[in-house]
Amino acid sequence: MKKRMYLVIVSVLLAVTMIGATVISANAATNGLTESQIDAIVNTTTDQSKIDSPFLSVVNHVRNSVVGVNNYATSTSYYGYGFGYGYGQPETRESLRGTGSGVVITEYGHVLTNYHVVDGASRVTVTTGTDEEEHEATVVGYDADLDIAVLEVKNLNLEPVQLGDSDAMQVGEWAIVIGNPLGERFSRSVSIGVVSGLGREVTDRSMDKYGRISTVTNTMIQTDAAINSGNSGGGMFNILGQLQGIPSMYALSSSGGSFFFSTGEQADNIGLCIPINVAKPLITEVLKDYNNTGKSADTRSQSGDSEEEHIDSPLYGKPRLGVTITTLSNSSRYGLPAGAFVRAVEAGSPADDGGVKVGDIVVEMDGTVLDSQNALITKLNGYHEGDQVQLKVYRDPELSEKTNLNNIDVNKLGQGEYVDLTITLRVVDNMNF
């Protein structure tokens, strides 16, 4: 009986409340809302101190350490009809070839990024979230096969991030990805996911700046955090704010995008990052060079004595390496770089003294890529007796002591390496180059 009486009372109260609400609603419909009623609805506040997220402190700490990386390329064109039939002086133009991301890793202005972000650039700059300027950057170290590069930027004045230990990562832990998807329009975007897998082997074809194509297999971190074109070279951080990976690839459910892998299957939410421990040897190499010289290797002059020091030289002949060479072109089908193929080395010549061997492919001199015999000859014309040059050659065991490519086993090619040599140029009689 008491229970029934209680239910009757509750029903009466609910009815009275509904009638009151109807009266108020009707009153508002006829007379409008008061300013205090509107203020109560619209002018609300959010207490940030009560917002709890495991990502806030990490993002606030590292977000400004992620920068944009711009790849500029130059091209030469003529006024006229094109196809080489123009007129007048050639015009060289610079254009933005692509954009990516990078992460500041030292207080000295070193930025870690992907090699493919800066590959082929005539000029590299970085943009920050603290100013609107483009800061000139120098590539001071890279590994094309691992797809990593280190830049040096003067007066960057950004706090570096702490490197983590990617070997200690666990599947299921948080993954915080920060980068510039689609460029500066979405700069320093944050996406959240988990580490979906470790030790994912990804095989890809890689071409270095000398034109050598090789097949490389790298071990990657898989995450379901959003990675898009432009995120490349950015950072994947753990919950401690440590840099654990470098976003590098993503799988697409359809074709398109700048950097992707595809095997024909459809996939979503699969992003791949280079483990930070893979990049540490290159970072160590760059920093050792910086510590020893006060500046990184690629910012130093690679040439020998200056031209002015040779004006009064009693030697007037043109210096030569002392080699017989031929152009090695269209060689990528063999897994070889393009360059000047050494068919003979003169005994006692500068090349012989410096370690050049028959079968070597000369690909670079003092930082200039040489893709042909003529490129090497042209480069040599700028030097004098006594100059010291840095030569890079590609040396493959299958090419050793070979004077041509007619009698080689192409299936054994691609096991070579790049070798750096120091050559002191002299005048060499009876040699063409």
Residues 6+ apart with CB under 8 A from 128: 64, 67, 68, 135, 156, 158
Distance CA 141, CA 148 (A): 9
User: DSSP per residue over 129-143, as a string?
Assistant: SS-SPEEEEEEEEEE
Which range has the worst mean pLDDT, 44-58, 243-257, 285-299, 304-318? Answer: 304-318
Within-domain flag for 271: yes
Q: Are residues 171 and 146 in the same domain?
A: no
Distance CA 421, CA 214 (A): 23
Distance CA 379, CA 252 (A): 44
Which member of 65, 101, 110, 116 is catalytic?
116
| Nearest CA among 292, 286, 246, 259 for reference residue 150 | 286
Q: Are residues 132 and 101 in the same domain?
A: yes
The answer to whether 353 and 424 are in contact (CB under 8 A) is yes
Within-domain flag for 28: no
pTM over 0.85: no
Q: Are residues 336 and 229 in the same domain?
A: no
Q: Are residues 252 and 315 in the same domain?
A: no
Distance CA 135, CA 422 (A): 33
- Confirm whether 116 is a catalytic residue: yes
| Nearest CA among 117, 114, 118, 77 for reference residue 94 | 77
Q: Are residues 181 and 70 in the same domain?
A: no
Q: Are residues 170 and 146 in the same domain?
A: no
Within-domain flag for 142: yes
Q: What is the pLDDT of residue 239?
A: 95
Q: What is the pLDDT of residue 14?
A: 60
The answer to whether 149 and 248 are in contact (CB under 8 A) is no
Output 404 or 246, whichever has higher pLDDT. 246
Q: Is the pLDDT of residue 123 over 70?
A: yes
Q: Are residues 272 and 174 in the same domain?
A: yes
Distance CA 263, CA 65 (A): 34
Q: Is the pLDDT of residue 177 over 80?
A: yes
Give the three-class secondary structure for 112: strand
CATH number at residue 324: 2.30.42.10
Within-domain flag for 188: yes
Within-domain flag for 25: no
User: DSSP per residue over 331-395, as a string?
Assistant: GGGGT---EEEEEEE-TTSHHHHHT--TT-EEEEETTEE--SHHHHHHHHTT--TT-EEEEEEEE
- Confirm whether 232 is a catalytic residue: yes
Q: Are residues 193 and 173 in the same domain?
A: yes
160 secondary structure, DSSP code:
P
Q: What is the pLDDT of residue 43?
A: 92
Within-domain flag for 47: no
Q: Is the pLDDT of residue 169 over 90?
A: yes
Which member of 232, 248, 296, 331 is catalytic?
232
Within-domain flag for 109: yes
CATH number at residue 236: 2.40.10.10
Within-domain flag for 224: yes
Checking DSSP bridges between strand 162-163 and strand 242-250, what pairing results, if any? parallel
Which range has the worst mean pLDDT, 45-59, 61-75, 373-387? Answer: 373-387
Report residue 248 as tokens.
């590098």
> How does pLDDT run across 350-403, given as a tens digit for each residue?
999 999 999 999 999 998 888 888 788 878 877 888 889 999 999 988 888 887
The answer to whether 154 and 179 are in contact (CB under 8 A) is no
Q: Is the pLDDT of residue 76 over 70?
A: no
Query: CA dihedral in degrees (401, 405, 408, 410; nearest 10)?
Result: 130
Distance CA 368, CA 373 (A): 13
Percentage of the residues of the chain whose pLDDT score is greater than 90: 35
> How does pLDDT run across 88-118, given as a tens digit for each residue?
566 778 888 889 999 999 999 999 999 989 9
Per the structure, the complete domain to which residue 70 belongs is given by: 64-78+90-153
Which member of 65, 119, 147, 296 is catalytic?
147
Q: What is the pLDDT of residue 404?
A: 75
Q: What is the pLDDT of residue 259?
A: 40
Q: Are residues 336 and 397 in the same domain?
A: yes
Give 332's pLDDT tier (boundaries 50, 70, 90). low
Interior angle at CA 250, CA 166 and CA 183, nearest 5: 100
Q: What is the pLDDT of residue 405?
A: 75
Q: Are residues 194 and 232 in the same domain?
A: yes
Q: Are residues 195 and 221 in the same domain?
A: yes
Q: Are residues 188 and 253 in the same domain?
A: yes
Structurally, the chain folds into a number of domains equal to 3
